[in-house]
Amino acid sequence: MKITLKVWRQKDSKSKGEFKTYEHSHVSPDMSFLEMLDVLNTELIKKKEEPISFDHDCREGICGMCSLYINGHPHGPLQTTTCQLHMRSFSDGETITIEPWRAKAFPVIKDLVVDRSAFDRIQQAGGYVNVNTGGVPDGNAIPIPKMIADEAFDAATCIGCGACVAACKNASAMLFVGAKVSQFALLPQGKVEAKQRVEKMVAQMDAEGFGACTNTYACEAECPKGIKITNIARMNREYLGAMLTSYKVEVGGGE
Amino acid sequence: MVNSINTAQYYTMKWFLDLFSSSLGKKLLMSLTGIFLILFLTVHLAGNLQLLKGDGGKSFNIYAEFMGTNPLIQFVSKGNFALILVHIIWAIMLTIKNRESRGAKGYAITNKKSTWASRNMAFLGFLILIFIVIHIQNFYYKAHFGTLPMQVYDGTEIKDLYTEVAFIFSQWWYVAIYTVCMIGLAFHLWHGFTSAFQTLGLNHMKYNPVISFIGKAYAVIVPALFAYIPVKMFFFS
Ligand code: HEM
Ligand code: FES
């Protein structure tokens, strides 16, 4: 296969950046998209040119590290991660445009690499359960209906890649936060801290500068893990309930 | 000593301000005011339909007089104005925030996987706003503060709003603006009706089909009936 690539090149976060065009003639339909870029980079290095920077890690669709906005879609034309996208999804002679995720909260670091640490900070704000030390409780001692367990697991499959933010016209992170809130809120272990969790995560999400959902559902359509917008609705009810009823304690211990 | 900042937070209901300044809280206001406006439209339409009764405007005038003088209705009407304002102001705040969040640099290519209406709520809302302004100037202002001819029904003299409406609806350009804005309203509600429930967190497999059906039906039928009135009065009177 022969393809033409239009790639966003940007030296660092402060430079302006621009598209550069590359003719790529060593492409096999069985290559993954990232392998195709690896081959191009090897050629660039041989020519003593700066290789294209892009994020990746597991290359098996589970870590959420790969990104790339390909021909107008996060992770390209299929609903999968870029690392699981193969060149057979494109046609011979096609021009492929590759851009970084665009969002104020995801600044470009270099070329196609963006800083997604905003997601980490949202997780650190409350996306966990506190587990005390002690004996391991018997898993079967806490009955959880199968449907609820499945729903929580579906939410937990979110790999935090940021495709939802990239796809959203408002750069809203609500599908991500909705999934992270839901995976705990549905389960007994997560219910204990559910209220403070959703309050803190939403506050952090707003502080990071993500937009507000206008229910266009572009995120759901593009999510490589098929996370459902029911998770956003759940976050909305959890948040409203928490804000209206969560515990406030008078600190300071009195006078 | 009690920490002064915490004391302030404790007594000032800071959490309440936090709620409505958060992204989710702002959306909540959009949704609640939107649903109220939907209820308002229903009542408003029921009143307007009396224009078509063919009794020379008698029932419409009596209805308008009742709405214009009943203290409870007047109270709800003032509240309605306030809620429209909240809906508009929060819509502007959210739209600005969302534009900012997208960042200065846009995509070269975008392939949107979402409906047109859902992406253009601000534009559609703006269309409705233009309509509301013209509308208030023509009808509400005239009926309340302007001078209208009087009509006597069963011994009482009341304002003849019907004649004014019939006059305005005899101008083709007014009927055209009215119809275009109603199409805008239809698209706003096509997305907005179901969207409001999602925002409230009311997304449930058992009820989604019902909400969606009622929402789509409302979005088509109500604006269509609103627009039918001036069109009919223009062509048949
Ligand atoms: C009678 C008139 C109106 C009705 C019945 C109405 C109804 C609604 C409803 C039900 C929603 C959905 C709320 C949600 O998604 O949670 C909505 C959203 C919206 N409305 Fe209106 N609206 C009206 C007028 C306006 C006006 C005059 C404007 C602007 C000038 C406006 C701007 C918006 C915007 C921007 C949204 C999207 C907000 C968001 O999702 O973040 N609307 N409207
Ligand atoms: S590289 Fe890990 S998900 Fe793509």
Nearest to A83 by CA among A34, A17, A20, A142: A34
Contact A158, A180 (CB under 8 A): yes
Summarised one tens digit per residue, pLDDT across range B122-154 is: 999 999 999 999 988 888 777 777 778 888 888
Number of CB atoms found within 10 A of residue A63's CB: 16
d(CA A194, CA A126): 9
B195 touches chain A (CB under 8 A): yes
Shortest distance, CA A134 to any CA of chain B (angstroms): 34
Q: Which of A174, A176, A215, A244 has the highest number of chain B CBs within 10 A, making it the mutation to test binding with B?
A: A215
The CA–CA distances, whole Å, from B29 to A81, B35, B80 equal 36, 10, 14
CA-CA distance, A29 to A18, in Å (whole number)? 28
Residue A81 CA, closest ligand 2 atom number: 4
CB atoms < 10 A from the CB of A117, how many?
Answer: 13
Q: What is the pLDDT of residues B7-62, one digit of tens each?
A: 555 556 788 888 989 999 999 999 999 999 999 999 999 999 999 988 888 999 99
Supply the pLDDT for residue B155: 81
pLDDT tens by residue, A64-92: 999 999 999 999 999 999 999 999 999 99
Exposure b/e, A192-224, CB count within 10 A at least 16 = b = ebbbebbbbbbbbbbebbbbbbbbbbbbbbbbb
Q: What is the mean pLDDT of residues B101-111?
A: 90
How many Å apart are CA B12 and CA B7, to the nearest integer?
8
* Segment among A35-44, A133-142, A244-253, B142-151 with least mean pLDDT: A244-253
CATH number 3.10.20.30 given to A3-110 = yes
A142 in contact with chain B, both atoms CB, cutoff 8 A: no
Query: pLDDT, tens digit, for every residue of A34-44?
Result: 999 999 999 99
CB A30 within 8 A of CB A134: no
pLDDT at B158 over 70: yes
Helices (H) and strands (E) in chain B, counts: 11, 2
- Burial class from Cβ neighbours inside 10 Å (0-12, 13-18, 19+) for residue B61 reads buried
pLDDT at B2: 43
Torsion sign over Cα B22, A226, B212, B122: positive
Q: Which residues of B touch A248 (CB under 8 A)?
A: 10, 15
Per-residue confidence band for A251, with pLDDT thresholds at 50, 70 and 90: low
How much is the pLDDT for B1? 40
A133 versus A153: the higher-pLDDT residue is: A153
Per residue in A85-126, pLDDT (tens digit) is 999 999 999 999 999 999 999 999 999 999 999 999 999 999
Beta-carbon contacts of A180 under 8 Å, excluding residues fewer than 6 positions away, are A122, A123, A127, A155, A158, A160, A201
The predicted pLDDT at position A252 comes to 67
Which among A55, A59, A68, A38 has a CA at the least distance from the CA of A167?
A: A68
Cβ contact A127:A168 at 8 Å: no
- Sorted by where each begins, the domain ranges of chain B are 23-236
List, as ranges, residues 11-50 from B with C-beta within 8 Å of A: 15, 18-19, 22-28
CA of A215 to the centre of ligand 1 (A): 12
Inter-chain CB proximity A99 and B108 less than 8 Å: yes
Nearest CA to ligand 2 atom 3: A61
Atom of ligand 2 nearest to the CA of A83: 4
Q: What pLDDT is recorded for position B193?
A: 97
Pick the CATH number of B23-236 from 1.20.1300.10, 1.10.150.20, 1.20.120.530, 1.10.8.80: 1.20.1300.10
Question: How much is the pLDDT for B6?
Answer: 54
Between A99-103, B2-6, B198-202, B223-227, the lowest mean confidence (pLDDT) is in B2-6
CB of A27 within 8 Å of any CB in chain B? Answer: no
d(CA B223, CA B44): 11
Average predicted confidence (pLDDT) for chain B = 90
**Which pLDDT band holds residue A141 (cuts at 50, 70, 90)?**
confident
Using alpha carbons, select from A132, A144, A249, A122 the residue that is nearest to residue A198.
A122
User: Could you say which residues from 37 to 66 on chain A have a Cβ atom under 8 Å away from some Cβ of chain B?
Assistant: none
pLDDT at A53: 97
A3-110 and A117-254 agree in CATH topology: no
Helix A194-207 with A174-185: angle, nearest 10 deg = 170
Q: Quick one: CA dihedral B34, B35, B38, B44, positive or negative?
A: negative
Nearest CA to ligand 1 atom 14: B196
- Which residue in A97, A243, A248 is closest to B109 by CB distance? A97
Is there an atom of ligand 1 within 6 Å of B51 CB?
A: no
User: Looking at chain B from residue 130 to 189, which residues have their Cβ under 8 Å from any Cβ of chain A?
Assistant: none
Distance CA B185, CA B105 (A): 31
pLDDT at A134: 84
Boundaries of every domain in chain A: 3-110, 117-254
Average pLDDT over residues A156-161: 97
Q: Which residue in the block uniquely carries the two structure tokens 């991500």?
A: A176
Helix (H) or strand (E) holding B192: helix B172-199
Please give the CATH superfamily to which domain A117-254 belongs.
Alpha-helical ferredoxin (1.10.1060.10)
- Predicted confidence (pLDDT) per residue in B188-220, tens digit: 999 999 999 999 999 999 999 999 999 999 999
User: How close is the Cα of A180 to the center of ligand 2, in Å?
Assistant: 19
Reference B109, options A160, A224, A1, A76; nearest CA is A76
